[in-house]
Structure 1
Amino acid sequence: MFSFQPIELVGYAASILIVISLTMTDMYKLRIINSIGCLMFVIYGLNVGAYPVALANAIIIIINIYNLYKLRGSDNKS
C-alpha cells in the first residue's frame, strides 16, 4: 500500500528549511538556514543514491560558507 522510509523525513525537513531560508531578509540567517537545509539534502541524496542532489547541495554549502566569510569580513570593517 504506502511505504514510508525514515530518510524521507530528512528530505522533507531539508525542503522546508530551504523554503524558510528564502523568506528571510537577513542574509546571514538566510545563509545559515540554507546551509543546514543543503546539508540535510546531502545526507538525503547520499542515502537514496541521488548523487547529483548531494553534489549540487555540497557545492551550495561551499558557496554559502564563502559568502558568510565575506559577510563577517564586511561587518568587521564598519
Structure 2
Amino acid sequence: MDELLFTELVGYFASAMVLASFLMRNIKKLRLVNSVGCLAFIAYGVLLNWSIPIILTNLAIVCVNIYYLFIKKQ
C-alpha cells in the first residue's frame, strides 16, 4: 500500500472515531471511543514526520480521558 494512502487512511479513521464519540450519550463510551480516535491521531502525527502539535494535543486529550475513566471514579 502506498505510504501516503496509508497515512490518509489513518487520519480518516482518527477523524471518524472522534466524530463518532460526539454522537454517544454514555460518557464512558464517549471517552473510550474518543481515546481510540486520539491514539489514531497520535499515530497520524507520527506518520506526518512527527507533527508535534497533532501529537501533543491528542496526547493531552488521551490523558484527560484516562483521568476521568480510571483515576477519578465518578
Give the TM interval when normalised to the shorter protein.
0.7 to 0.9
CA distance in 1, matches of 2:55, 2:45: 5
Aligned to 1:56: 57
Aligned to 2:39: 39
Aligned to 2:17: 17
Q: Secondary structure at the match of 1:6?
A: helix
Q: How many residues align?
A: 69
CA distance in 1, matches of 2:55, 2:41: 6
Moved over 3 A (4+): none
Identical pairs, percent: 42
Partner letter of residue 53 of structure 2?
A: P
Provide the alpha-carbon RMSD of the alignment: 1.0
Q: Deviations over 1:28-53 (max 9, x none)?
A: 00000000000000000011032101
CA distance in 1, matches of 2:28, 2:69: 7
5+ long unaligned stretches in structure 2: none
Which TM-score applies when normalising by structure 1?
0.83
Which TM-score applies when normalising by structure 2?
0.87
Partner letter of residue 54 of structure 1?
A: I
CA distance in 2, matches of 1:59, 1:46: 15
5+ long unaligned stretches in structure 1: none
